[in-house]
Structure 1
Amino acid sequence: MAKSNQLVVSAHHAIPRYQQIARQLKQAISDGELVAGSRLPSSRTMALELGVARATVENAYGELVAQGWLERRGQAGTFVSPSATSGANNVANTSSQPQGAPRPFQMGLPALDGFPRALWARMMGRRLRLQTRYDLMLPEANGESTLRQAIADYLRFSRSIDCQPEQVFITAGFQAAMRLVVHTLAKPGDGIWLEDPGYRYVRPVFAEAGMALHPVPVDNEGMQIDYGLGHFPDARFALVTPAHQSPLGVALSLARRHQLLDWAAANQSWVIEDDYDSEFRYHGKPLPPIKSLDGPQRVIYAGTFSKSLFPALRVAWLVVPQQQVEAFSQHTHYLPCTAPLLIQQTIADFLREGHFWRHLKKMRLCYSERRVWLEQALQQQGFDVVPQAGGIQLVMRVSGDDRALVAKAREAGLAVQALSDWRMVSKGEGGILMSFTNLTSMAMALKVAQQLRDAIF
């Protein structure tokens, strides 16, 4: 594909035109139609041939340059990067990927090609130009006030959580949010219920604080609250992912949500609700967050922009009960928010101006399509995919030692994970965890599914 007239751009497509161009160019590079070192038409020429604005082509080129697929050589023009993949290379070979590109199936990432980078750059540039000398001072320890207000407004209308800006605390990532909770409310020896299997990367935060980690099994209705009540009734905390349990993807049933709240109220314990990807649900109506049902005021609600925007932001937030605002505020003097002020201000603008809503709507359609691509590709290879109503990852059932199978896949450059590695003490069938967010075509899904089968069988 050396000529731009082989590209097809539609004004009626669900994604912006610059992303249509970027995706097709990326696919052409992956398929070997555009080889490393090939010179692309100038943005002016490409725009004329496609009948789009020159800025549209510039945005497409800029996105691919940032991702490592293209490189600019001054007046010489724009070229396919020497490090870019080609059709002759194995997609799963990480040495042939553009530098910094996600590996196939890599979890914890949103669709990097779906984020409106050009819009974000303009908004950040505007904020930078509007900053005054007072913005050079130390920022607020609990987070920028405009962002706290924007989050409170967003949660009120999208998640039915009635909170005030002073109840919102901004942190530099989810682990930092959990450290703030621990430093404010916990003491050594306190017990915490953890989903088993559950999010493995936050356990060290609680262990370092000297807390007792209590694994509670998960079934198709989420955390088994009866088990926690029977085995660890005096625990002081429970950490749950009720919208899409991490990693199984099940939702905590409404009955168990009320049961959890009743336990917390009676025991004066705290429920930490990690609502990490509730925005991405594809089937059925989501259950209300536990925080919206929190009459006893025992729920601490945690969210992050890592999955909805992009993880490099390193920005998360907590919503704490009103009576705990003063205690949390005191501890932010020792654990202040370290997210850059410019980043916080830009996120606030992104929320207030409606871009966040539009982005989420677009990404729901994108992820729904990409999930179907991967499910169908895996099923064609004979794999058993666990159905889920939402989220940005999936579970594939396997028989035998899932850790051994994953080790083989990772040797082949596939960034899958073993379900057993997310367990604490529970036993159950093996599984392979993977993400579909950065699969840009059905052809790519078919290719990496074939590579997965070749690697583990």
Structure 2
Amino acid sequence: MTAPTPALTIEIDRQEALPIYQQICERFRTAIAAGHLRPGDRVPALRGLAAQLNTARGTVELAYTILVDEGYLQMRGAAGTFVSPSLPAAVVHSSRRAAPVDASGKRGAGKMREQKTSDASDRMPQTPARPLTIAVAMSGEPRPLQPGLPALDAFPRKVWNRLVSRRARSGERAVLAYPDPAGYRPLREHIATYLGLARGVTCLPEQVFVTGGYRATLELVLRSLAQPNDRVWFEDPGYLLARSFLAETGIQLVPVPVDEEGLNVERGIALDAQARFALVTPSHQSPLGHTLSLARRMALLDWAEKGSRWIVEDDYDSEFRYQGRPLPALKSLDRHDHVIYCGTFSKMMFPGLRLAYAVVPERAIERVGRVACSMNAGSPTLLQAAVADFMDEGHFARHVKRMRALYAQRRMLIAHAMEHAFGPRLHVELPPGGVQFAVHFTEGADGPVDDVAVAARAREAGLAVLPLSIWYANGRTPHVPRGLVIGFANVTDAGEAARLARTLRACLPGC
């Protein structure tokens, strides 16, 4: 049974350099680690906590979003927000040995005021603080400038509705039954054909496994092929949600720096030559947009072959390239089957589908198939069948072609608007592809711009940009670039672009 809301008082220090939303996150982490908040406890409502702290509701919302992404909290709609009942073992165990905290959330100085209980956990010895991990959810109602979001206004909804309705009316038994954990066979066939034509990836339908999104793809791959305490090269900066998920699995991340040629393979070998995995975004590096050079692609493949290692290629939006034809996938160069190719329909169609896929080497089909069955992870057959029809009738290829032209226009609209609004305060360098790009703040008289604070103010203003620094493993160190990651696919015209850029400019200090 769910516990009632504990009468918890959280205090923040407005003189502290740490932003308020991060202070809120730390207070909750500390309270959970100390056992003051337990799995299943309801936490204060957004509005109530914002009033208690005399801060904006958007600030509390950002903190809760981060805590949800990290797995500490769960949002249950109208029922409220709760401490996750399935906290990782490390967090649950730490609750038995956490240090006492004072009202400001600092360990060892006193007690965090709570009227629910007071027990021996307040007297337990101090443990090191949990490393800060920030990942902002992009779920729910779409917001302007949201990274990774395709043009929802331009999706052919009438065609899609017709295909879904036709499948629903067909009364097919397969649509009503449990889905195949590996995916709907005709869709797997269409994906294999499409990848061979568009991405240079030669594969059999049996190698294609349809999943419920990129996170589900990673889970399937790691549960099938990884061992406890395996180490994985991870791009630095790298995809936020993948980093937070990998950290939860027990995989040891090895941040490998990225430059204009993509992942620095030589540096990765120097850092950890024996890592078993490398997770890369070679066609459009997330978030910087660089392309992995041919020399580094070959070096990465050579590293994998010599040690029987795995490369996970996240090819999330490579079809949208605005200079020349889309580049072939890294998988197309793989002659020894060390690359696991991952794709998604979230960018090509719309994220609400929750459909992605992995192409695994033939020698791993049986193993991955067993894990897929044990996960009971089949996606709804109705939607898979509709996507198969969407591809079979040519709508998918036409849609991608139209979006490539549309996005080329829209990215220039927001880029010009940003340059006009910010002037020399912001450096805009457009990558050759993708549905988002990163911009960099120039350092002012007071030092580097706090991009996390700018993004928090932008969120309160209704925008969904993300701070660039949090994509880095050590994002708050002085040398880390400060900027924003901006989505442009839903900017419809020059007027809207100018308005959004002005709104974002007002979030910069000194405006």
Residue among 482, 485, 498 paired with 1:433:
485
Corresponding residue number in structure 2 for 1:217: 257
The SS at the match of 1:326 is helix
Q: Displacement of 1:125 after TM fit?
A: 1.1
1:326 is the counterpart of 2:378: no
Residue among 494, 499, 506 paired with 1:442:
494
* Deviations, residues 81-103 of structure 1 (Å, cap 9, x unaligned): xxxxxxxxxxxxxxxxxxx7522
Residue among 384, 393, 401 paired with 2:436:
393
1:146 is the counterpart of 2:183: no
CA distance in 2, matches of 1:405, 1:445: 18
Q: Displacement of 1:272 after TM fit?
A: 0.1
* Deviations, residues 245-277 of structure 1 (Å, cap 9, x unaligned): 000000000110010000000011100000000
- Map residues 171-186 of structure 1 onto 2, 5 A cutoff: 171-186=211-226
Residue among 463, 466, 473 paired with 1:414:
463
- Whether the 8 Å CA contact 2:174–2:381 is kept in 1: the answer is no
Corresponding residue number in structure 2 for 1:340: 380
What is the identity, as a one-letter code, of the residue corresponding to 1:320?
V
Q: Displacement of 1:325 after TM fit?
A: 0.5
Corresponding residue number in structure 2 for 1:104: 144
- Whether the 8 Å CA contact 1:254–1:287 is kept in 2: the answer is no
CA distance in 1, matches of 2:317, 2:233: 21
Q: Displacement of 1:372 after TM fit?
A: 0.7
Change (3 A) 1:428 1:164: same
CA distance in 1, matches of 2:147, 2:171: 36
Q: Displacement of 1:410 after TM fit?
A: 2.1
Moved more, 420-429 or 290-299: 420-429
Root-mean-square deviation (CA), in Å?
Answer: 1.3
Q: So what's the TM-score if we normalise by structure 1?
A: 0.76
CA distance in 2, matches of 1:430, 1:415: 17
Residue among 138, 148, 159 paired with 2:199:
159
Change (3 A) 1:101 1:172: closer
- Whether the 8 Å CA contact 1:397–1:430 is kept in 2: the answer is yes
CA distance in 2, matches of 1:285, 1:117: 27
Corresponding residue number in structure 1 for 2:282: 242
Q: So what's the TM-score if we normalise by structure 2?
A: 0.68
- Whether the 8 Å CA contact 2:315–2:343 is kept in 1: the answer is yes
- Whether the 8 Å CA contact 2:417–2:498 is kept in 1: the answer is yes
Q: Displacement of 1:414 after TM fit?
A: 1.7
- Whether the 8 Å CA contact 1:152–1:163 is kept in 2: the answer is yes
CA distance in 1, matches of 2:402, 2:332: 26
Q: Displacement of 1:296 after TM fit?
A: 1.0
Residue among 355, 358, 368 paired with 2:408:
368
CA distance in 2, matches of 1:260, 1:311: 30
CA distance in 1, matches of 2:327, 2:296: 12
CA distance in 1, matches of 2:146, 2:221: 29
What is the identity, as a one-letter code, of the residue corresponding to 1:454?
A
Corresponding residue number in structure 2 for 1:251: 291
CA distance in 2, matches of 1:134, 1:179: 26
- Whether the 8 Å CA contact 1:397–1:429 is kept in 2: the answer is yes
Q: Percent of aligned positions with the same letter in both sequences?
A: 48
Moved more, 386-395 or 281-290: 281-290
Change (3 A) 1:101 1:186: closer
What is the identity, as a one-letter code, of the residue corresponding to 1:289?
A
CA distance in 2, matches of 1:211, 1:313: 28
1:288 is the counterpart of 2:337: no
The SS at the match of 1:257 is helix
What is the identity, as a one-letter code, of the residue corresponding to 1:422?
W
Change (3 A) 1:143 1:410: same
1:133 is the counterpart of 2:173: yes
Q: Displacement of 1:326 after TM fit?
A: 0.7
The SS at the match of 1:455 is coil
* Deviations, residues 258-308 of structure 1 (Å, cap 9, x unaligned): 100000000111000000000100013443211111101000000000011
CA distance in 2, matches of 1:166, 1:243: 25
1:402 is the counterpart of 2:442: no
CA distance in 2, matches of 1:369, 1:287: 20
- Whether the 8 Å CA contact 1:200–1:422 is kept in 2: the answer is yes
Q: Displacement of 1:178 after TM fit?
A: 0.3
CA distance in 2, matches of 1:136, 1:429: 51
CA distance in 2, matches of 1:305, 1:407: 29
CA distance in 2, matches of 1:317, 1:429: 33
CA distance in 2, matches of 1:332, 1:313: 19
CA distance in 1, matches of 2:341, 2:376: 18
The SS at the match of 1:278 is coil
- Whether the 8 Å CA contact 2:179–2:379 is kept in 1: the answer is no
- Whether the 8 Å CA contact 1:182–1:206 is kept in 2: the answer is no
1:116 is the counterpart of 2:156: yes
Corresponding residue number in structure 2 for 1:278: 318
- Whether the 8 Å CA contact 2:145–2:487 is kept in 1: the answer is yes
Corresponding residue number in structure 1 for 2:8: none
Residue among 346, 357, 364 paired with 1:306:
346
What is the identity, as a one-letter code, of the residue corresponding to 1:444?
E
- Whether the 8 Å CA contact 2:318–2:327 is kept in 1: the answer is no
Change (3 A) 1:132 1:284: closer
CA distance in 1, matches of 2:498, 2:410: 12
Change (3 A) 1:268 1:134: closer
CA distance in 1, matches of 2:354, 2:327: 27
CA distance in 1, matches of 2:308, 2:354: 31
CA distance in 1, matches of 2:326, 2:266: 23
Q: Displacement of 1:134 after TM fit?
A: 4.5
What is the identity, as a one-letter code, of the residue corresponding to 2:251?
M
- Whether the 8 Å CA contact 2:247–2:253 is kept in 1: the answer is yes
Q: Displacement of 1:403 after TM fit?
A: 1.5
Q: Displacement of 1:452 after TM fit?
A: 1.1
